Amino acid sequence: MQTLSQSPLDPAFVQNPYPFYERARAAGPFFHWQDYGLTCTTSYAAVSALFRDRRLGREIPPEKQQAIPDHLKPFYAVEAHSMLELEPPRHTRLRSLVLRAFTSRRIAALAPEITALCDHLAETLPDGEFDLLRHFGQRLPVVVIARLLGVPEEMGDDLLRWSNAMVGMYMAGRDRAREDAAVAATESFVAFMRRYVDQRRHDPRDDLITALIAAEEAGEKLSTDELITTCILLLNAGHEATVHSFGNGVKTLLETATAASALAPERIEATVEEILRFDPPLHMFTRHVYEDVEVMGTTLPKGSEVALLLAAANRDPQTYADAARFDPARVGKANTSFGAGIHFCVGAPLARLELQIALPILFRHKPALRLTEPPRYGDVYHFHGLERLMVRAD
């Protein structure tokens, strides 16, 4: 296995990681990323197989667990109840209870409300040059999830601030200041959600928090701590993924001068899938190896950790013809952007719905939308999203 070096903090890499992915792909389906000390794969086939292989998982094996520093304990106390970081049987119990509340019918019922919100956001965009992320991309998902949960949407700025700070724990090169900010945000978020969960226990409403409280299977219910963590996970993951997908998607549509026909009702679903494939919001997803696993001639030993490079897999030429080209008419295998197997993203249907509604409405209201400066990605590998998206619509 070839060893390659590439700092995830290198500004040129952050702005365009794809050349490194192609260099890594030339080394074979797996390579050792020296800067992370991890075995990684760029292969669509390997990523797809490893997502579904139950010999790997998200939970840290007992023999590799380390003492949590005192200053980080509040953050990891929340993480301890996160579906994203658990394996069966606890993952199975949590996910099944959440899916009883977070149903496809509940999500589909949001379509008229999302449509009205997108129309409002598009109609109230500023004149002249403005940041489309601040005025549209960031507002849409946080308002939708606030309404879905049943918390005041005027709390949106606080929810965004807490979410951004907590996600800082997953960024390359985090420091003590970022850790302290994440812990402070966690404590504020937990206190806020605990108050609302307590309210809904005594005053049920037609919202997701009430539905999560009521969800029951074989006598099992979510504890208050599990409820709080689930709500935080839905907001953090849903917000980050949707904002980045929206920003990356608008950037791509404008830079490639994609025809308006790609946003027509009969084509928008395929266009959104191509946006998610071409420039996804999450580039790396790691899994622990619980038993020796052989994949494509490479043995992953028990106790090791492997990184699935989702954005690289999405551009694997063995799976997608002309993979580096944005093609909204593309048909073929599903992208890896929302994962697969038991950890397939619970919020994927909502994220897709928001994008399928938002993009046509934005360009219908602002057909002359154009970039006014080269978009820059935030220095947040392995998340991949724009710092801002400066545009004009006149």
Domain positions in the chain are 3-392
Side chain identity at residue 264, one-letter code: A
Closest-CA residue to 207 (of 119, 139, 141, 109): 109
Dmax (CA) for the chain in angstroms is: 60
- Three-state SS at 126: coil
Interior angle at CA 303, CA 298 and CA 306, nearest 5: 50
Length of the chain: 394
Closest-CA residue to 117 (of 132, 137, 134, 102): 137
Neighbours of 191 (CB within 10 A): 10
- So what's the pLDDT on residue 235? 83
d(CA 179, CA 75): 9
Neighbours of 71 (CB within 10 A): 11
Partners of 305 in the β-ladder: 288
The dotted CATH code for 3-392 is 1.10.630.10
Q: What's this model's pTM, rounded to 2 decimal places?
A: 0.93
- So what's the pLDDT on residue 394? 84
d(CA 339, CA 343): 7
Closest-CA residue to 327 (of 274, 279, 272): 274
For residue 135, give the DSSP letter.
Answer: I
Cα dihedral sign for 100, 205, 233, 62? negative
d(CA 130, CA 393): 9
pLDDT by residue, tens only, the chain of 394 residues? 999 999 999 999 999 999 999 999 999 999 999 999 999 999 999 999 999 999 999 998 888 888 889 999 999 998 889 998 999 999 999 999 998 888 889 999 999 999 999 999 999 999 999 999 999 999 999 999 888 888 888 888 888 889 888 888 877 778 899 999 999 999 999 999 999 999 999 999 999 999 999 987 778 889 999 999 998 888 887 788 899 999 999 999 999 999 899 999 999 999 999 999 999 999 999 999 999 999 999 999 999 999 999 999 999 999 999 999 999 999 989 999 999 999 999 999 999 999 999 999 999 999 999 999 999 999 888 889 999 999 999 8
Q: In this structure, what are the phi and psi dihedrals at residue 309, rounded to the nearest 5 degrees? A: -90, 90
Which tokens in the block code for residue 121? 């956001």
Tokens 């794969």 — which residue?
A: 41
Which tokens in the block code for residue 283? 């580039």
Task: Kindly write down the DSSP assignment for every residue of 140-183, as one continuous string.
Answer: HHHHHHHHHHT--GGGHHHHHHHHHHHHGGGSTT--HHHHHHHH
Q: How far is CA 152 from the centre of its chain?
A: 23
Sheet holding 30-33, edge to edge: 3-4, 30-33, 38-41, 305-309, 284-289, 56-57
d(CA 252, CA 335): 17
d(CA 222, CA 227): 6
Containing 386, the helix (H) or strand (E) segment is: strand 386-388
- So what's the pLDDT on residue 373? 96
- So what's the pLDDT on residue 220? 85
Containing 274, the helix (H) or strand (E) segment is: helix 268-278
- So what's the pLDDT on residue 173? 73
d(CA 222, CA 324): 44
d(CA 299, CA 249): 37
- So what's the pLDDT on residue 154? 87
- Determine if residue 297 is left, alpha or beta; phi over 0 gives left, psi from -120 to 50 gives alpha, anything else beta: left
Contact 102, 233 (CB under 8 A): no
With b for 16 or more beta-carbon neighbours within 10 A and e for fewer, the 102-136 pattern comes to beeebbeebeeebeebbeebbeebeeeebbbbebb
Q: How far is CA 139 from the centre of its chain?
A: 16
